[in-house]
């Protein structure tokens, strides 16, 4: 299975005229600049095992090793022949994480982000070098704290949590406490690592790290004035303990309010616990522990913004955060995952999207500054009917997480063009939309209108009526012929109008882009003409001579 540290390649990449050594070199650089990984050569992308009867010649390993050394800088490649369960052979190339920045021999830089290989250019090359110390922070033992100095209560709880987790293999549970510390990178030799001190150390030793997390929760009123503050700054709690402590201590997280639905009223939590915990996990696990700075929970009457020090990992942006994944603190993420405190890699934002949309709220909004990352979630429910819409559809068809997200996005937006939907889901193109649409079209939950660039998706009117989301007629899904008729009627009354004026008069529910596209179509048909350019462009009807009347 391909993931952030495993990739599959056809054997053709290193054999004959189809050999693509430069492509292979690029992939090796990606892994070396990331967290390391392995290339499985001889297994096709859509297969899990090599072709039956496949045999690997030993001389291929020597050639592979030689060519990677020739085409890369600072990359160590360790190829070996492996045998699959079906008896066929393939090559596994182990690529350790490089202690320094690596590149191809022609000066190109790449890094592994999720399942893709991303180029690194410009100032990001310096940023890549800055983010790659020769020794990983988690593994350092510079403070010289011996193993026995670990907090006995924290160690006891950690071992009990490992034994209780169904994500931990039996062979790991059978290890002694000392072996568990070594297994999770919490100790090296006789000393606790920085990660071990962070999770199991005393408050004094944790404060000596210099970058152990401090959390501030600040509450603001309607005027933006501070009205309350909670602070966790004594280093007595590990990141694992902070997760529960913050959730329990903030009263707003457990507030609820009633939402009307017909004759009945339902109690809804002000904040979804799973979303809050996922936000806290992201702040604690993915922050750069080589950089000082507090975690801020800015609580407003209508929203919560979680601000974390440091930028997003290289290659991850607010525009691709739903799909891109790159671990900054591998050991800490592994502990949180095994103890069931976080979702599997790359699924945290999927979960938050799903939970927010299913509760009738907008999706989380990430933002990035020069030295901070913020994620904002809304407290108030925008459309209570969405809760029932997604719940009814899920109960009837057992929708996947991606299908629920897409259905929620479309229902909140009252329909979108293919381009708008792709932008909302942070994917590129129609093909990338298909996995997110899933069965929604076949099940009749989502309908379409238009073609090519005019293709539009919207929730089936029957489902909207079922949850009373059709309480007013919306023009956002108006048929193209009806829209053109409205524009022509408007221009008959108000000639020499701008597209904005036309949009305002026929219905602001229709997007400006849709109106402009319809106007361009009428111009192409010769039914409308214009004068001026850009913001000064004005449209008017083309006067057609009456039948039998000669044009002067």
Residues 6 or more apart whose CB falls under 8 angstroms from that of 443 comprise 397
Mean pLDDT of 335-360: 84
Rounded Cα–Cα distance for residues 76 and 65 (Å): 9
The 10s digit of each residue's pLDDT in 134-166 is: 568 899 999 999 999 999 999 999 999 999 999
The 10s digit of each residue's pLDDT in 309-336 is: 988 887 788 888 877 767 788 899 999 9
Mean pLDDT of 381-406: 86
Residue 474 has pLDDT above 60, yes or no: no
Whether the Cβ atoms of residue 515 and residue 487 lie closer than 8 Å to each other: yes
Rounded Cα–Cα distance for residues 13 and 42 (Å): 9
DSSP string for residues in 422-463: HHHTT--HHHHHHHHHTTTTTTTSEEEES-GGG-EEEE-HHH
Whether the Cβ atoms of residue 275 and residue 377 lie closer than 8 Å to each other: yes
Integer angstrom CA distances of residue 309 from 73, 211, 375? 32, 11, 12
| SS3 label, residue 382 | coil
Indicate the average pLDDT of the chain. 86
Higher pLDDT: 39 or 415? It is: 39
Residue 548 has pLDDT above 80, yes or no: no
Output the CA torsion sign for 317, 353, 345, 177: positive
Angle formed by the axes of helices 348-358 and 385-397, to 10°? 120
Given the DSSP bridges, would you call strands 295-299 and 215-220 parallel, antiparallel or unpaired?
A: parallel
- The pLDDT value given to residue 509: 66
Rounded Cα–Cα distance for residues 294 and 436 (Å): 36
Domains of the chain in start order, with CATH, are 6-134 (3.30.950.30), 138-208 (no CATH), 217-225+242-277+285-378 (3.30.565.60), 397-466 (1.10.10.10), 480-541 (1.10.10.10)
Q: pLDDT band at 549, cuts 50/70/90? A: very low
- The pLDDT value given to residue 517: 87
Stretch (H or E) spanning 126:
helix 123-130
User: Where are the strands (E) in 149-213, listed by range?
Assistant: 187-188, 191-192
| SS3 label, residue 210 | coil
Residues 6 or more apart whose CB falls under 8 angstroms from that of 189 comprise 141
Mean pLDDT of 222-228: 91
Q: Greatest CA separation found in the chain?
A: 104
- The pLDDT value given to residue 467: 59
| SS3 label, residue 345 | coil
Write out the two tokens for 88. Answer: 């066929």
Strand partners, 261: 264
- Token look-up 């739903």 returns 322
Over pLDDT 90: what percentage of the chain? 47
Q: Of 280-289, 307-316, 419-428, where does the model show the most confidence?
A: 280-289
Instruction: Name the DSSP class of 131.
Output: T
Residues 6 or more apart whose CB falls under 8 angstroms from that of 39 comprise 7, 8, 9, 24, 27, 28, 31, 91, 92, 93, 95
What is the four-CA torsion angle of 131, 135, 139, 145, rounded to 10 degrees?
-120
Q: Of 182-191, 312-321, 349-358, where does the model show the most confidence?
A: 182-191
- The pLDDT value given to residue 170: 94
Closest CA to 83 of 38, 45, 44, 53: 53
Q: pLDDT band at 551, cuts 50/70/90? A: very low
Strand partners, 216: 231, 296
Residue 219 has pLDDT above 70, yes or no: yes
- Of 424-428, 479-483, 530-534, 541-545, which gets the smallest average pLDDT? 541-545
């Amino acid at each position: 299975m391909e993931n952030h540290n495993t990739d599959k390649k056809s054997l053709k990449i290193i054999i004959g005229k189809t050999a693509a050594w430069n492509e292979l070199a690029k992939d090796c650089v990606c892994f070396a600049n990331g967290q390391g990984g392995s290339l499985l050569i001889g297994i096709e992308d859509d297969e899990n095992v090599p072709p039956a009867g496949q045999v690997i010649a030993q001389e291929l390993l020597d050639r592979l090793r030689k060519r990677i050394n020739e085409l890369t800088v600072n990359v160590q490649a360790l190829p070996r022949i492996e045998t699959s369960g079906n008896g066929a052979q393939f090559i596994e190339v182990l690529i350790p994480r490089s202690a320094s920045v690596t590149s191809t021999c022609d000066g190109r830089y790449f890094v592994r982000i999720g399942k893709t290989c991303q180029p690194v250019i410009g100032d990001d090359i310096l940023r890549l070098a800055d983010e790659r110390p020769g020794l990983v922070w988690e593994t350092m033992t510079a403070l010289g704290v011996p193993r026995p100095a670990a907090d006995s209560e924290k160690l006891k709880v950690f071992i009990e949590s490992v034994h209780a987790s169904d994500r931990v293999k039996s062979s790991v549970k059978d290890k002694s406490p000392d072996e568990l510390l070594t297994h999770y990178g919490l100790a090296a030799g006789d000393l606790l690592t920085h990660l071990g001190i962070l999770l199991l150390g005393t408050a004094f030793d944790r404060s000596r790290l210099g970058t152990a997390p401090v959390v501030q929760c600040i509450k603001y009123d309607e005027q933006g004035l501070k009205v309350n503050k909670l602070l966790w700054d004594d280093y007595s709690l590990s990141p694992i303990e902070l997760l529960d402590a913050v959730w329990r201590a903030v009263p707003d997280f457990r507030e609820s309010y009633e939402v009307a639905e017909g004759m009945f009223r339902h109690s809804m939590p002000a904040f979804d616990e799973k979303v809050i915990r996922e936000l806290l996990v992201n702040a604690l696990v993915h922050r750069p522990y080589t950089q000082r700075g507090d975690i801020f929970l800015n609580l407003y009457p209508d929203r919560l913004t979680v601000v974390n020090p440091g930028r997003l990992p290289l290659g991850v942006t607010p525009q691709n955060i739903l799909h891109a994944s790159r671990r900054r603190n591998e050991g800490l993420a592994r502990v949180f995952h095994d103890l069931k405190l976080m979702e599997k890699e790359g699924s945290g934002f999927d979960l938050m999207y799903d939970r927010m949309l299913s509760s009738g709220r907008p999706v989380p909004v990430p933002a990035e500054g020069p030295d901070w990352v913020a994620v904002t979630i809304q407290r108030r429910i925008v459309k209570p009917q969405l809760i029932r819409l997604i719940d009814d559809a899920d109960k009837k068809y057992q929708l996947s997480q991606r299908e629920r997200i897409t259905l929620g996005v479309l229902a909140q937006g009252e329909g979108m063009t293919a381009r708008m939907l792709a932008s909302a889901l942070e994917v590129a193109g129609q093909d990338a939309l298909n996995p997110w649409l899933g069965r929604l079209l076949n099940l009749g939950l989502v309908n379409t209108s238009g073609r090519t660039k005019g293709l539009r998706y919207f929730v089936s009117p029957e489902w909207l009526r079922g949850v009373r989301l059709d309480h007013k007629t919306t023009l956002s899904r108006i048929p193209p012929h009806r829209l053109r008729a409205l524009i022509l009627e408007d221009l008959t009354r108000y000639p020499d109008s701008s597209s904005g004026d036309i949009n305002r008069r026929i219905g602001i529910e229709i997007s400006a882009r849709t109106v402009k596209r319809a106007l361009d179509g009428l111009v192409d048909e010769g039914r409308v003409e214009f004068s001026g350019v850009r913001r000064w462009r004005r449209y008017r009807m083309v006067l057609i001579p009456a039948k039998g009347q000669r044009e002067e």
